[in-house]
Amino acid sequence: MDKTFTVQILLSIATVLAAQTSLSHYWHKLTDKTFTGVYHANAFDLAMMIPYFLVLFVLAAYGLHRYWLVYDYYMYSKNVPGPPPEVKNWPRVTVQLPIFNERYVIERLVEAVSRFDYPRELLDVQVLDDSTDETCQVASACVERHAAQGMPIVYIHRTNREGYKAGALENGLKTSQGEYIAIFDADFIPEPDFLRRTIPYFVDPANGPKIGMVQTRWTYLNRDYSLLTQVETILLDGHFVVEHGARSRRGTFFNFNGTAGVWRRKAIEEAGGWEHDTLTEDTDLSYRAQLKGWKFLYLPQIECASELPVDMNSFKAQQARWAKGLMQTAKKILPRVLKSDAPWHVKAEAFFHLTANISYPLMVLFSAMLLPAMIVRFYQGWFQMLVIDLPLFLASTCSISSFYLVAQRELRPKNWWRTFLYMPFVMATGIGISVRNAQAVMEAIVGKKSEFARTPKFNIEGKKGSFAGKKYKNKAGWMPYAEVLLGLYFAGTIVYAHYRLRRHQRQLRHHPVSAPLRLGLPLHRPHVPRPNLLRSSPLRRQRPGNAPRRHRRPWLLNSGTGSVVSALSSIWSCGAGWSARARVFWAQDELNSAVGIETDRLFQINPV
């Protein structure tokens, strides 16, 4: 943490010093009338740049929020719950297992719950089945088999699926007997001591009566199955380690994740029960309960294994459902939060949490404006790049890397550095799902309803197993074509940036004013319009005795090195235009200075 803050402080100091040392030069460029008329902003430029920077500022704000979460995570690192006291009288607990067409994993889940070491007389298990296929027979037979062995388990089947998962949970509460409600999705495998480790926090005489929900941390059975599951692990670890950790430590609102958690029944009832007008019923209930004064507890030391989606379409469907559901919850709950008497930092965190997915449509819009903005801004100077673009880039893009790297360092301190190898794929995945998620967010904003698209699982653990030939695959539809078009657009942007850079490098090598700078001065700028008198001026600077030697070029003008540097920086930043513009900006500033010196000297002798 100290090294991270040191690097950030040094970057800030370097930016300020660079700005101060160049202010006079930049002011001279603004007031110099030598090249008046060469460029003037027109209506098209303004129409592109104003939305461009507005979108970039919003994305940067959400990026800075990620930095703030990392700060809170370390700042309040001591605000973690200690071990609970020993329990003498265990309360009654209901375990709810909501499923829908989960023939491959339902038996595994029931088997895991049957191994709970909680007192059997204080436990009742409900299999809440809304299935429409052979899962009904598989689940029913599994329940009968375990019930015959003495397990307190019942099978509840609905045929209308009203309210989807929220409706099934609400229906199960009508016949449940427990004071506390533990919920597990079909693809989870809780440990036998799960209830014995979570329930004591509720019955703690000191703080227990205020606790309405306890959430545990997810782990992953098939993390190493493929590159996709590796990326999913990094994404979810960032949520469970940094987001949940920072919010719970700071005391702000955070959400129940729909599974691997325990609710106090009274908290559910006082909050108004399960409602199904959003696709994230868990977040909806979480905020309503916390607005009623209930406290939530996050226990990262208690793990619950789960299965990650192994199919790209299933993963995108899951992410789209979460994105749409959070935006629906924001429309429903955020006005209540802002009107409540909660502290300002709780309201601010709730705003950024619930509206974070607005970044997806903004990302698509920003991507569409990237190429026109690059064309419009091609002749702007390095000062704008340093003062405006660089801070926004660090805020909007680099915050993502630091966010997930911190999470991996906390979980895997010995080999967390390997996450660097996956960061390009994490960034690419975020861009790849932006089109689908943007559609979901816009549907939530305009109020378009959709079904609860569950994420199918195939009982895959480790690197074994396959989903080929199995049911429940999500259909891709037209979305892959839109994603391919976006990828082609990015590729065209990279090609254009490289073409412009190479073109200006060639112009610069043949520019008369660049000759003395090849002697070793830092030359980094392409050709700009200048008075024609310079072409025949005897005052043009030449190397004494000989013409400039073309083979002695600065390293930035070396074709091989420049191409490699441009490609590497472009790939890492997920936008080659930024790195190309940066190099051209620095080159152009040096050449403008040289042209200005020559013009001033010429006009002193030959005044117009």
- Which residues are tagged catalytic? 130, 282
C-alpha–C-alpha distance, residues 5 and 301, integer Å = 27
Cβ-contact 216, 305 below 8 angstroms = no
Cβ-contact 106, 186 below 8 angstroms = yes
The string of DSSP letters for 465-506 reads ---TT-S-PPP-TTHHHHHHHHHHHHHHHHHHHHHHHHHHHH
Q: Which residues contact 410 (CB under 8 A, 6 or more apart)?
A: 241
CA angle 547, 551, 556 (to 5 degrees): 115
Report the chain's C-alpha Rg in angstroms. 30
Q: Which residues contact 12 (CB under 8 A, 6 or more apart)?
A: none
Q: Which run of H or of E encompasses 289?
A: helix 281-291
Cβ-contact 211, 296 below 8 angstroms = yes
Number of residues written out for the chain = 608
C-alpha–C-alpha distance, residues 363 and 356, integer Å = 12
Give start and end residues of each alpha helix (H) in 396-450.
399-411, 419-432, 434-446
From residue 573, give the alpha-carbon distance in Å to each of 397, 401, 466, 565: 8, 11, 34, 12
